[in-house]
């Protein structure tokens, strides 16, 4: 059965900062363009999770009068702290010794989800059509191999793949240009990178897993505008990661933890590291007496310029974190994603109006401040493969003395799925039990995400080899999916004395960590039925 189709000038996949920016910029450049945005979440913002300390540079270019438009950008950064944590101690790092890229005094503490909701309103006012609840599940190609558009997911398929009464076929959205802006590890972006070899001659991509909780804390301990980062405990010197704590409006703090997915010990549980981190006296004293109101997790992309794939291909562009424009030393990806969207819109408009080639994206990108920023940032993340201490020393030299202008580029050597060592060679980690006050278990955390997937649908976490988890991964790595998944999707259960790999796909919060970290790349994340997944509020 051929699917119904709808034609647009530009089809944008993903309603995050880069996709919405592209849509807005396109309409600003040419209000006659027909532009649509597909979003898998039930509403814009519901799958967005980010720190977030926001640099307004790209937004200043996109909507210069944003201050007059009731934007949710309100809390200016007023104070900064950087702590090195030991097990019980903390060392306050003088902020004058921080590289300039880590200084935030002109930035704002925001909820990126709310910013996206606001951007969506701006886009709709300009005539962009936004379709939340419609995941793009398939890339459509022309006969010449160029991208023709995407198809949305069929709805109403049962767990065996049969049509239910409510079956509603997906439809084809065809664009002169299709923009992929799915965020980190987009499942279509991943296919495009492979098909068009966009990552040829690039370093393997690097990822991290980021956790975030929102706490409502005691007024006396709340300092609106305070930005605090930590490094060190509970992670060892060889594991890349650190925390953030942003004091936002309404007595809320955004508390988070990021761990590089190149960690080596399969016994490590990123979720439990984050929970344990909160018990540090320097952190506990701030959140104690407060209440956790939100939880979420999302993979983020850290490879930077060395790993950034080519962002154009026939008929399509790949932008934002779907490509990998995050600036790691700045710990910011929103302004860079938005800038990549502005450049995309300009390139597409030239392409549609004057027939210029989409490959101009490369040149436009290289001429922009975005490229310069990423170039200066490029050596920081790889230097941490030497450990935290050497990484910091190198970063000091690279960022403070040379401002990112050292005449060489460090390489990322391994993809994150290759870094795990066999379980028996690595120390086991005993994590303390949750106290349900400061620290929590996974199930009660996942509950706060509001995630759900309608039951009786196809499992959206596919195994290339269904026997591999038990026959190989369990034996060799003690099946790390049980620990790296922040939502308790994967379990190894004993049933009648045989081990069984259980996938609780309804718990999935769309973070994509399994798709990245599974040592044999055996787990493939695909889109579930539209509207499934978390229902984040102001993440």
Strand 129-132 versus strand 35-39 pairing type: parallel
Q: How far is the CB of 539 from another protein (least distance, A)?
A: 9
Strand, helix or coil for residue 216: strand
SS3 132: strand
Task: With beta carbons less than 8 A apart as the criterion, state whether 134 and 152 touch.
Answer: yes
User: Whose Cβ is closer to another protein: residue 6's or residue 526's?
Assistant: 6
Phi, psi of 297, deg, nearest 5: -150, 150
Q: How far is the CB of 216 from another protein (least distance, A)?
A: 8
| Shortest distance in whole angstroms from residue 260 CB to another protein | 29
State in angstroms the smallest separation of the CB of 522 from another protein: 21
CA dist 529 and 363 (Å) reads: 38
Measured between alpha carbons, how far apart are the two ends of the chain, in Å?
Answer: 40
Q: Is there a contact between 484 and 514 (Cβ–Cβ < 8 Å)?
A: yes
- Give the residue carrying structure tokens 């509603």: 168
- Asked whether the beta carbons of 346 and 30 are under 8 A apart, the reply is no
Q: Output the smallest distance, CB 531 to another protein, in A.
A: 9
Distance CA 515, CA 69 (A): 39
3-state class (DSSP) for residue 202: coil
Provide the greatest CA pair distance for the chain.
67
Supply the minimum distance, in Å, between the C-beta of residue 496 and another protein.
Answer: 6
Per the CB < 8 A criterion, the answer to whether 482 and 492 are in contact is: yes
Distances (CA, A) of 291 to 139, 254, 474: 43, 12, 37
As measured in angstroms, the least distance from the Cβ of 487 to another protein is 11
Query: In this structure, what is the dihedral angle of CA atoms 350, 352, 357, 362, given to the nearest 10 degrees?
Result: 50
Q: Which is nearer to another protein, 52 or 399 (CB)?
A: 52
Q: How far is the CB of 440 from another protein (least distance, A)?
A: 10
What is the token pair recorded at 478?
A: 């003690």
- What CA–CA distance (Å, rounded) separates 14 from 38? 6
CB of 210 to another protein, least distance (A): 20
Nearer to another protein, 65 or 160 (CB): 160
Give the up-direction half-sphere exposure of residue 27: CA atoms within 13 A in the CB hemisphere: 23
Q: Which residues pair with 228 in a beta bridge?
A: 81, 245
- Tell me the sheet residues that pair with 345: none
Nearer to another protein, 6 or 470 (CB): 6
Using alpha carbons only, give the angle 496, 498, 503 rounded to the nearest 5 degrees. Answer: 100
Our CA angle for 120, 125, 130, nearest 5°, is 45
Check residue 254 and report its DSSP letter. Answer: E
Q: Least separation, in Å, of the C-beta of 240 and another protein? A: 30
- Tell me the chain's radius of gyration from C-alpha atoms: 22
CB of 406 to another protein, least distance (A): 43
Binding site for another protein (CB under 8 A): 4, 6, 42-43, 46, 111, 113-114, 129, 131, 134, 152, 155-156, 164-166, 168-169, 171, 173, 216, 293, 433, 436, 441, 443-444, 446-448, 450-452, 455-456, 493, 495-496, 502, 504, 506, 530, 535, 537-538
- Nearest to another protein of 42, 239 (CB atom): 42
């Amino acid at each position: 059965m051929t699917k119904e189709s709808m034609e647009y000038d530009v089809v944008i996949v993903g309603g995050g900062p880069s996709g919405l920016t592209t849509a807005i910029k396109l309409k600003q450049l040419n209000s006659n363009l027909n532009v649509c945005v597909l979003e898998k979440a039930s509403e814009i913002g519901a799958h967005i999770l980010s720190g977030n300390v926001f640099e307004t540079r790209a937004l200043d270019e996109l909507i210069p009068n944003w201050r007059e438009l009731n934007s949710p950008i309100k809390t200016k950064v007023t104070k900064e702290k950087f702590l090195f944590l030991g097990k019980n101690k903390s060392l306050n790092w003088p902020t004058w010794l921080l590289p300039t890229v880590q200084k935030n005094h002109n930035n704002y503490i925001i909820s990126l989800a709310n910013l996206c909701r606001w951007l969506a309103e701006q886009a709709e006012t300009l005539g962009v059509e936004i379709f939340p609840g419609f995941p793009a599940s398939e890339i459509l190609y022309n006969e010449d191999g160029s991208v023709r558009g995407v198809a949305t997911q069929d709805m109403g398929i049962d767990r065996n793949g049969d049509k239910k009464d409510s079956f509603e076929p997906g439809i084809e959205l065809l664009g002169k240009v299709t923009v992929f802006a799915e965020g980190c590890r987009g499942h279509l972006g991943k296919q495009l990178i492979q098909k068009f070899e966009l990552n040829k001659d690039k370093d393997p991509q690097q990822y991290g897993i980021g956790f975030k909780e929102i706490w409502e804390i005691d007024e006396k301990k709340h300092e609106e505008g305070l930005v605090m980062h930590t490094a060190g405990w509970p992670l060892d010197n060889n594991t890349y990661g650190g925390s953030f704590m942003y004091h936002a409006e309404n007595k809320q703090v955004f508390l988070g933890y990021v761990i590089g997915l190149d960690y080596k010990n399969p016994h490590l549980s990123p979720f439990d590291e984050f929970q344990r981190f909160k018990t540090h006296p320097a952190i506990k004293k701030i959140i104690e007496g407060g209440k956790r109101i939100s939880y979420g997790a999302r993979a983020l992309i850290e490879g930077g310029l060395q790993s950034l794939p080519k962002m154009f291909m026939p008929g399509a562009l790949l932008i934002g974190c779907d490509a990998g424009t995050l600036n790691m030393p700045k710990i910011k990806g929103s302004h860079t994603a938005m800038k990549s969207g502005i450049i995309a819109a300009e390139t597409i408009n030239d392409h549609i109006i004057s027939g210029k080639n989409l490959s101009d994206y490369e040149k436009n990108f290289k001429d922009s401040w975005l490229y310069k920023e990423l170039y200066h940032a490029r050596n920081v993340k790889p230097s941490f493969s030497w450990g935290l201490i050497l990484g910091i020393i190198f970063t000091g030299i690279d960022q403070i003395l040379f401002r990112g202008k050292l005449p060489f580029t460090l390489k990322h050597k391994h993809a994150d799925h290759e870094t795990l060592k066999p379980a028996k060679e690595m120390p086991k980690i005993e994590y303390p039990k949750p106290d349900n006050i400061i620290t929590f278990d996974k199930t009660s955390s996942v509950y706060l995400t509001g995630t759900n997937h309608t039951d009786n649908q196809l499992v959206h976490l596919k195994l290339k080899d269904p026997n591999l988890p038990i026959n190989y991964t369990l034996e060799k790595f003690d099946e790390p999916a049980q620990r790296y998944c922040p939502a308790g999707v994967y379990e190894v259960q004993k049933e009648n004395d045989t081990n069984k790999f259980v996938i609780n796909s309804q718990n999935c919060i769309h973070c994509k960590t399994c798709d990245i970290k599974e040592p044999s790349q055996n787990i493939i994340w695909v889109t579930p039925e539209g509207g499934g997944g978390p229902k984040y509020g102001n993440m």
